[in-house]
Structure 1
């Protein structure tokens, strides 16, 4: 009886040992990006490696962004125990991302799980288009104001140009004695007096000459 009981116990343990690996479910072995990693730019694909081969046609992988929306993914492909999921789209905001996966184990059971990574840099934005400022209006010679240089400060000041008219002011003419000068009649009187004096002197000298020329008696 003792031998039979011992043999039955060993057989039971053997069966348990054989059945345990067969009933083990598929586990996620590694991923790219790795769980908890921080990446500076948006990855172009997700790579999930499991402990045993998994079929691609029954696998599902979703990526959830910081805003809670699911980001588009491409067709899943399998290479043994590795699943590759291309990521569609071009703009991704910075923040935490969560990857949820579901795969079918060799025993037919479905296993699921999650892992997360953080995008540290925001999506690249297009630089603003540079606009060329309009050139200032041209200044014509009629609009330009004359400038003058101050001798003391050495700076140039702009003077307001006086308005010009089509006619010019007439030149001032001198009147007869109204401008403060010597009247014309005074000059005429002086010339007349000088003429009379000259004539009188000439007559006097002529008489003296005649007297000196007469013979004495």
Structure 2
């Protein structure tokens, strides 16, 4: 009675061919996956932290990476570009941050160039603020009383004596008296000379 040919070698050949196809196929690339957030998704925190941080399973590229934080009334409170450190991406917030629900929208670029995006929410129990100037108290300054400075009398200017030529300082009476004395003396001398002349 003839026997059927053994099929075992054919099955082995088929399995080897399938294995070769699987090994020759390129390995599938895993995309970036969000592993955790701070604040945690769905959590309630005392107030909004200064930065919202996302942690991924691998570093992401800065190109195309963006994080937006919105209040319950859809006011955007994120400020500046996101900061990438290792597997984390942090986004600063600013302004008046009321209590309530916040929505975080993110879009990052994985190492293989594929964009990864998503969103999560958290709730702040109390309000806070960052980067808001606090007005200084409007108190009127006390008037400054300066010490009284004694008044120093101004010196009286002295007028120098006026000189009016060579006869300055000689009064008119003295001058007239001197002339009269000279006239009288001249008359006396003339009279004595006339008395001594001999008679002719």
TM-score normalised to structure 2 length: 0.55
Give the match for residue 19 of structure 1: 27
**Distance in 2 (alpha carbons) for counterparts of 1:81 and 1:97:** 23
Q: CA RMSD in A?
A: 2.6
The Cα offsets for residues 95-137 of structure 1, whole Å up to 9 and x where unpaired, read as 110101011112211110111110111237x8xx9xxxxxxxx
* Deviation of 1:19 (Å): 1.8
Listed as ranges, the matches of 1:91-106 within 5 Å are 91-106=96-111
Which of 96, 120, 130 matches 2:125? 120
The Cα offsets for residues 167-202 of structure 1, whole Å up to 9 and x where unpaired, read as xxxxxxxxxxxxxxxxxxxxxxxxxxxxxxxxxxxx
Structure 1 residues 10 and 114: alpha-carbon distance in aligned structure 2, compared to 1, 3 A threshold: same
Query: Taking CA–CA contacts closer than 8 Å with sequence separation of 6 or more, which of the two structures ends up with the larger relative contact order?
Result: 2
Structure 1 residues 15 and 81: alpha-carbon distance in aligned structure 2, compared to 1, 3 A threshold: farther
**Distance in 1 (alpha carbons) for counterparts of 2:24 and 2:42:** 40
Counterpart contact for 1:66–1:94, Cα < 8 Å:
no
**Distance in 2 (alpha carbons) for counterparts of 1:110 and 1:76:** 16
Counterpart contact for 1:62–1:100, Cα < 8 Å:
yes
Give the match for residue 187 of structure 1: none
Structure 1 residues 102 and 4: alpha-carbon distance in aligned structure 2, compared to 1, 3 A threshold: same
1:8 aligns with 2:14: no
**Distance in 2 (alpha carbons) for counterparts of 1:120 and 1:98:** 15
Q: Structure 2: which 5+ residue stretches go unaligned?
A: 1-9, 138-200
Listed as ranges, the matches of 1:22-171 within 5 Å are 22=29, 24-89=30-95, 91-123=96-128
**Distance in 1 (alpha carbons) for counterparts of 2:75 and 2:93:** 14
Structure 1 residues 107 and 57: alpha-carbon distance in aligned structure 2, compared to 1, 3 A threshold: closer
SS of residue in 2 equivalent to 1:70: coil
Counterpart contact for 2:61–2:111, Cα < 8 Å:
no
Counterpart contact for 1:50–1:82, Cα < 8 Å:
yes
**Paired residues, what number?**
125
TM-score normalised to structure 1 length: 0.51
* Deviation of 1:84 (Å): 1.4
Structure 1 residues 29 and 121: alpha-carbon distance in aligned structure 2, compared to 1, 3 A threshold: same
**Distance in 2 (alpha carbons) for counterparts of 1:9 and 1:83:** 43
Counterpart contact for 1:36–1:117, Cα < 8 Å:
yes
